[in-house]
């Protein structure tokens, strides 16, 4: 098939950043990488040579925790001192605007560090009058701006001019309302407060993440070697090849590579082995990094006893329209909104970490 040259020029840049380490290594940053990726909408794991859910993983999934959707919530309520003292300073609080589009609408995100990040268009930015910076991806004539407010900053106390300016702006000068996804991980010893009770006067609804299980039959799996991240000729497949294969598995693409009327085909990287069954589990919702770290710990304990599986893959998808990706790095959409990472944990507890970013993202 002939592909016009202009189409090739329009293809966006994609990056797959790979690291290799050991889960028990003193310098392993696997937990830090998970914490750095705050907003997650889907978590999936694949276990070859496994037909039933291991008990430890089943218990971890049951403890993923609920989250909340608050409709038409004025943004100034997230910067109120009562909310800061009750939730932001007593745990990890996560908030993300829902059904907003990062390339067209104003969006907001509250990070567990206490930083509130706004991504707004030029008109809204000028109306707000708060200090910000042009978006990294808005070109020579900025049409989008990023505003960051640190709710835990001592200079943003209840009696400070800076804080009063923010409150006045969001409450009186330019009222912004959004539907927010909210979740809170309590870290103190005292009885935790409830987001449901706090926002009882608002339109708030609690949700449980949706969990699905599938047993895949007769799956052609690539042979992986934990010490060959980039792959070698006539050796195990590379991290890039495995990442593509994993995408085919999760999207139920056929791997037969048979002749047909389709324009393209796909086959499993070589060498490969036929696995009689593999367990695929997917969790969909607003999933906190703390819960993902707990899942990783249970996967590590899964290999403490002899198992048929040589490895387990854990894939985490971020929200395509989140204003941030890793840490406070700005996230843009362009054409794909890529924002995901994958752990491949081997029986030896070596692991690969693969982070996929698009054209409008900084390297993690």
Alpha helices in the chain (DSSP H): 5-10, 30-36, 55-62, 81-86, 122-128, 161-168, 195-198, 239-250, 289-302
* Local confidence band at 191 (pLDDT 50, 70, 90 cut-offs): low
Q: Please write the tens of the pLDDT for every residue from 323-334.
A: 999 999 998 877
Cα separation values, 93 from 21, 39, 112, 331, Å = 30, 11, 5, 20
Q: Which residue has the higher pLDDT, 280 or 13?
A: 280
- For the chain, the average pLDDT equals 87
Whole-number pLDDT of residue 357: 83
Q: Please write the tens of the pLDDT for every residue from 92-113.
A: 999 999 999 988 899 999 999 9
Whole-number pLDDT of residue 189: 59
Length of the chain: 364
Give the C-alpha separation, 363 to 361, whole Å. Answer: 7
* Local confidence band at 137 (pLDDT 50, 70, 90 cut-offs): confident
The pLDDT of 14-23, averaged and rounded, is 85
Q: Please write the tens of the pLDDT for every residue from 68-96.
A: 999 999 999 999 999 999 999 999 999 99
Q: Which residue has the higher pLDDT, 284 or 142?
A: 284
Backbone angles phi, psi at 132, to 5 degrees: -155, -165
Listing DSSP states for 152-178 in one string gives T-GGG-TTSHHHHHHHHIIIIIS--EE
Residue 221 has pLDDT above 60, yes or no: yes
Q: Please write the tens of the pLDDT for every residue from 158-168.
A: 778 888 999 99
Q: Which of 11-25, 52-66, 70-84, 290-304 has the highest mean pLDDT?
A: 70-84
Q: Which residue has the higher pLDDT, 212 or 238?
A: 212
Q: Please write the tens of the pLDDT for every residue from 200-213.
A: 999 999 999 999 99
Whole-model pTM: value is 0.90
Q: Which residues are CB-neighbours of 127 under 8 A, at least 6 positions away?
A: 173, 174
The pLDDT of 115-129, averaged and rounded, is 95
Whole-number pLDDT of residue 232: 47
Backbone angles phi, psi at 291, to 5 degrees: -75, -35
Residue 124 has pLDDT above 90, yes or no: yes
Q: What is the DSSP letter of 330?
A: B
Give the C-alpha separation, 298 to 47, whole Å. Answer: 13
Residue whose pair of structure tokens reads 């790979």 in the numeric block: 18
Lowest mean pLDDT among 132-141, 303-312, 354-363: 354-363
Residue 128 has pLDDT above 70, yes or no: yes
What residue ranges do the domains of the chain occupy? 5-64+209-357, 67-207
């Amino acid at each position: 098939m002939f592909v016009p040259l202009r189409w090739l020029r329009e293809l966006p840049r994609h990056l797959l950043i790979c690291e290799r380490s050991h889960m028990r290594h003193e310098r392993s940053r696997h937990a830090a990488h998970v914490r750095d990726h705050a907003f997650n909408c889907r978590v999936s794991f694949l276990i070859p040579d496994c037909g039933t859910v291991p008990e430890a993983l089943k218990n971890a999934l049951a403890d993923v925790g609920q989250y909340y959707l608050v409709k038409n919530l004025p943004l100034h309520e997230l910067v109120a001192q009562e909310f800061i003292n009750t939730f932001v300073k007593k745990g990890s609080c996560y908030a993300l605007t829902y059904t907003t589009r990062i390339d067209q609408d104003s969006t907001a995100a509250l990070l567990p560090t206490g930083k509130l990040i706004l991504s707004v268009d030029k008109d809204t930015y000028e109306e707000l009058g708060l200090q910000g910076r042009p978006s990294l991806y808005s070109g020579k004539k900025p049409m989008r701006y990023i505003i960051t407010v640190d709710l835990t900053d001592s200079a943003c106390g209840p009696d400070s001019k800076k804080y009063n300016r923010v409150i006045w702006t969001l409450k009186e000068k330019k009222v912004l309302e959004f539907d927010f996804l909210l979740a809170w991980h309590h870290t103190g010893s005292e009885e935790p407060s409830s987001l449901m009770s706090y926002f009882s006067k608002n339109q708030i609804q609690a949700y449980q993440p949706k969990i699905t299980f599938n047993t895949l039959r007769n799956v052609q799996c690539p042979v992986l070697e934990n010490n060959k991240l980039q792959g070698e000729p006539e050796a195990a497949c590379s991290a890039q090849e495995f990442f593509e294969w994993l995408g085919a598995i999760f999207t139920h693409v056929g791997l037969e590579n048979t002749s047909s009327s389709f324009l393209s085909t796909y086959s499993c990287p070589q060498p490969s082995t036929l696995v009689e069954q593999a367990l695929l589990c997917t969790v969909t919702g607003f999933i906190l990094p703390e819960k993902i770290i707990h899942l990783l710990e249970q996967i590590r304990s899964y290999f403490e006893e002899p198992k048929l599986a040589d490895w387990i893959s854990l894939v985490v998808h971020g929200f395509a329209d989140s204003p941030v990706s890793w840490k406070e790095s700005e996230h843009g959409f362009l054409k794909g909104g890529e924002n995901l990472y994958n752990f491949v944990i081997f029986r030896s507890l070596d692991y690969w970490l693969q982070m996929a970013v698009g054209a409008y993202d900084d390297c993690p």
